[in-house]
A = this chain, B = another copy of it.
């Protein structure tokens, strides 16, 4: 087991070097970069599509789209007309900073305010690999259950913001999900995190998320 840990460390260190370079590049360019991480099916792509469409006239958004296989999500993003670059990981369970470094070269960075990285659908592995982002965004759908921050703490501890998505499913008590429990558990891990309750399907709660994005872009640009 010792050997495995050492090897794991080496891979992380190699990744870290790319991540630092990506981070420096994005800071110099004064671009906000957010790394979205969640389980498969939490609604990352739907959140992105709605955010891009609703903020079209206010923030210029580009997307780096990570997937194990298929360009299903990339096609949905491209339909918004936002610049998007697809990375197919071919089985790997997370994006690497080297992949993001290549993808950044294929985006029209100078025309953008905000770059979203949609990571592979996985609540665990992507958390360990810095990509050079300014911050991580966790997404948790209410259908996944309110015990997830307790069971998978790392991503909630490391994120700048958490979107609790699919809150439309709480109507009619279709889903058992105690938002208070989630907030308590998440704030214990990370007292500075912003928590937004949204439905990317209906639009409910998205305005607060948009305000936070606009504020964050402004802060980066005035740095």
Question: B7, B121, B168: which contacts A7 (Cβ < 8 A)?
Answer: B7
- Tell me, yes or no, whether A91 is within 8 Å of chain B by CB: yes
Number of copies: 2
A56 to B54, CA, bound (A): 53
Q: Which of A139-169 contact B (CB under 8 A)?
A: 141, 143-145, 147-148, 150-154, 166, 168-169
List B contacts of A168 (CB < 8 A): 174
List B contacts of A147 (CB < 8 A): 70, 72
List B contacts of A124 (CB < 8 A): 68, 93, 120-122, 125
Number of interface residues of A (CB under 8 A): 37
List B contacts of A67 (CB < 8 A): 151
- A169 near B172 with CB under 8 A, answer no
List B contacts of A206 (CB < 8 A): none
- Which residue on B lies nearest to A72, using beta carbons? B147
Q: In the complex, how many angstroms separate the beta carbon of A161 from the nearest chain B beta carbon? A: 19
- Tell me, yes or no, whether A41 is within 8 Å of chain B by CB: yes
A173 to B168, CA, bound (A): 12
Instruction: Convert A18-50 into 0s and 1s, putting 1 for each residue whose CB lies closer than 8 angstroms to a CB of B.
Output: 000000000000000000000111000000000
Question: B69, B154, B169: which contacts A143 (Cβ < 8 A)?
Answer: B169
28 of the cross-chain contacts (CB-CB < 8 Å) are: A7-B7, A39-B39, A39-B121, A39-B123, A40-B145, A41-B143, A68-B124, A68-B151, A68-B152, A69-B150, A69-B153, A70-B147, A70-B151, A72-B147, A72-B151, A93-B122, A93-B125, A121-B151, A121-B152, A122-B122, A122-B123, A124-B125, A141-B143, A143-B143, A143-B144, A143-B175, A169-B174, A174-B174
Question: Which A-B residue pairs are the 4 nearest by beta carbons?
Answer: A41-B144, A143-B143, A93-B124, A39-B39
Besides the known contacts A122-B125, A141-B143, 9 further A-B residue pairs in the complex with CB atoms under 8 A apart = A40-B148, A41-B143, A68-B151, A68-B152, A69-B152, A91-B154, A93-B122, A122-B123, A169-B174
